[in-house]
Structure 1
């Protein structure tokens, strides 16, 4: 009887100590002055490319803002400052399903640029195998703080540590994507890593396909548990929200043919541009014939921009995700898994 009481006392003491340690940190992280809803952020944060003591944290906003930071830690908290860049080719068009546009050309008669900012911070000082809470905060131009919920991050897993890895591809706003990802979380629980084998969206320069398509099944909402996609079966309607996955587990993406845009235009709809790639060699031959007229000063930057705009590019994919050494191909070790990512996508579209 005495032994049981002592054991119970020790257990209760351990719980109390744990609460004393954790509560101040969580309170410090969440007490952001003038905090607003996380959904003023365009996305929740997501994780990429952990190392033995760090991980990258990325999120998006529709305002440039300032003081974009990640707050993280357990017994004490630290801050990491983000670097901000603006996406250069994200647009909406007459075929977008965004905002109040539910049919073609209700709001947009041709492509328009959509301003989106990307924030990336490198969180350091991590210990393999130890998850820590984190939260991102962005400050708007009016001084208002906008923060995410608390999530968890960690460094690379140690070898010989069991991992639950989600191998997936071809989400492309498909009807079952949100339901399938919700089922992953319901049945498997927390995922440790996501290996995404290409074809993330349909039209990569259409911003709403990544962030907020009004049908409820955009790329990031589905992988962050913020989707709102409704399915009907036998007269019963069910709304699926996807899964809160990449806020807590790193995603390793691969270029598929749906990450490749064709020739650039501010007149043709984005579907037409996606279906209009052109071989680089053929474009170079055309350029050489017209070089004196197109680029009389022989500006190399103009030449590179012209070549890209008149052939194909993966710029939006490259700007959304962190890529090791800036290359679309890479190899990493994740626990006991060696992941080798190739850049061998076939555009699958006939040029004319």
Structure 2
């Protein structure tokens, strides 16, 4: 979707950052929409944190520009930008109470704010994160999840236009992380502030984001909604990083109407979605594990599916589904995720079992080169 200028709260215009010989960010072009939840997602060293720090004002671009509300902020220090950041380890002051931590930024403003006004803003911020009665407590008396809420309250009390989140849930356990994800989403929707999250956790980005910016080698590999990135990854890098995918070599026999007829290494033909503008006859195909299913080797095969002979090499029960790893001759390793109800109906397949991997027409996608 094209972003209209009035919808844009921040923008990277050919923004680059070099540390000596290392190019950490390479000509990033990106418009951040007002009120959206945007995530930078990628492995360590991909440039996502560098992008966030340039937006925050902790780093200055060595090329290009960073704009907020259409204004180049390259010469504006971090403390004068309309942004606030929640750090991975929260950076709270242990010698201060919760209320003193939340009000710290307000007390630094010039001209000075009245104490009563500061107290009212602090009280409102704590209520927003559901810590109304915790103002007098010390930081060391708070749990990890409560400390994160204190950090959020301290960030939103200044009413920033953009709230930056630098892997704020990395230190939380899985259950608390899920709870905090929902709380962050509720907070973002109630405040209407633009949230920009940096994370290496793909599930976190998929669960929370309006759009995800996949980073690799300092550049944007692809940007889109979670569903767009999952269903239509631009290349192998994105397909590998967002969710799980079987990536197989194939020969493209024909193309028509956005579909491709692909021949796998064992000679089996499958119908898959084609990549826009693709023309090569040799290609890689990505197919998600949940798009495939299994049948016992001797069972009758349903119509409209390609059957690939395979052997079960690993079987892992994961509660709502069972993960099968298989070896298909002249095709390679495959992963198939079978929902629990289907597993119960079929009776499951043991280690070493000979099975058929069933590939429905239209499952899978030809990946663009790169």
Pairwise TM-score range, normalised by the shorter structure: under 0.3
TM-score in terms of structure 1 length: 0.24
Higher-strand-fraction structure: 2
TM-score in terms of structure 2 length: 0.23
Whose radius of gyration is greater, 1 or 2? Answer: 2
